[in-house]
Amino acid sequence: MDRSSTGLLVPHAVTRRGLLGITATFTAWAALPRFAHAGGRDPRLVVLVLRGAMDGLSTVAPVGDPDHERARGGPVLGSSEQAPGLALDSFFAMSPRLPALGAMYQSGEALVVHAVASPYRERSHFDGQDVLESGLPAVGVADTGWLGRTLALLPEGEMVQFTSGEGFAAGAQVPLIMRGRSKVVSWMPAGYPEASEDTRARLLSLYRHAGDERLAMTLEEGLELGMVAGSEKEAKRAARSGADADVKGRSRPAIEAARVAGRVLSKEDGPRIGTLDLSGFDNHSRGDPVDGQLGDSLAVLDATLLALKESLGPAWRDTVVMVVTEFGRTVAFNGSGGTDHGTGTALFLLGGGVAGGRVVADWPGLSQAALFEGRDLRPTTDLRSVAKGVLRDHLGVGERALAESVFPGSADLKPVSDLLRS
């Protein structure tokens, strides 16, 4: 039993286990926007947070920058000692550990925004993630996140019945980015012994007999979510399938979380906004973009994104996935072959709704004079501007609401345009 954000004890209708740093959250709109079914559109948005600060220069390397190899002084894509990257254009190359994402890029379903950062300019993971998720201009005490506040702004339309207007979460807790007015029921993937159908039915009957309709309704919703997510046996069968790349045992929980996310988000009466977390990007050592710890983390990310796309099915065409991290890494490698906490990095947008096949960047260069504080990639694009462009053009949130409610204090930041298909 766990507590929902309302304080109610929520029985898990599906089995659960710790996700080795992988968690997922899905929130249902209380009402779909009026444009959701107009013209055949039914938009979904997934934000995937890479915990630990991804090295954007190794993930999408500026191989055309004349200062690239000199400034990094370590294993880089495009050098004679490394396998060549996946060419994105004449200037940028992607790590070969991201073949699925590279294929989406080539098919016009993914793009990269480079030299990007939140407004945070220090190097604390805790504070950096707080600013990334809260959407505020600086570190502060925040109890809501920018996705949670977005949910409160969506116009009323066709009612969603799947979770009676409540959200639901996969993981130990609802991340800050999704917190807001919506109630969220927790869910965790397979691992612990699940209750039998007979036990669940008896519990439901007991709650109804005792007159506790709220708890009975919560359990009934949980049972329905369990049917959508699938049983532990189904999860194990999926994990054994040849389509799952297993990177030192790390990819299976990530794939499981992504598959459940896609399955639930693809339902006609299911939620339309969700988040996923993926850890393992704090690479102070073994930061090789191909064979090191970073390369392994990127392979897990790639398998996760592919599983999400496959499980969404036809809903992929109306989906935007935004992959973000709290900050970047230093330009120069350290003595352990890794990188330390930095500033500028890269983010990804992918999905059938994305106008992909390109890198969006006001590239600052990697000369010593161009670096931020003499050590980091200088950010030239504010992450909030990218998010504003997605929320405006994909979900129809107005610019005034974006500046005042979703990202307070950001009136001077204009949404980035032309990220999505018209």
Per residue in 130-176, pLDDT (tens digit) is 999 999 999 988 899 999 898 878 765 443 433 333 444 455 567 88
d(CA 349, CA 372) in angstroms, rounded, equals 25
Residues of the chain predicted below pLDDT 50: 1-20, 30-38, 157-169, 185-186, 191-196, 231-244
pLDDT the model gives residue 27:
57
pLDDT value of residue 218: 53
| Residue 215 is assigned to a structural domain of this protein | no
**Does residue 352 lie within any of the structural domains?**
yes
Max CA pair span of the chain: 74
Return the pLDDT at 153: 82
- How high is the pLDDT of residue 10? 30
Give the CATH number, domain containing residue 42: 3.40.720
The domain total for the chain is 1
Prediction pTM value: 0.81
Residue 163 confidence (pLDDT): 38
Give pLDDT, residue 250.
65
Residue 173 lies in a domain: yes
How far is 292 from 271, CA to CA, in rounded Å? 37
Domain extent for 257: 14-195+245-406
- pLDDT value for 201: 58
Q: Is residue 418 part of a domain?
A: no
pLDDT, residue 349, reads 98
Q: Residue for token digits 């029985």?
A: 11
**Does residue 111 lie in a domain region?**
yes
Could you tell me if residue 383 is inside a domain?
yes
Asked if the structure places residue 1 within a domain, the reply is no
Q: Are the beta carbons of 11 and 223 closer than 8 angstroms? A: no
Cα–Cα distance for residue pair 303/292, rounded to 1 Å = 17
DSSP 364: -
Q: Is position 350 within any domain?
A: yes
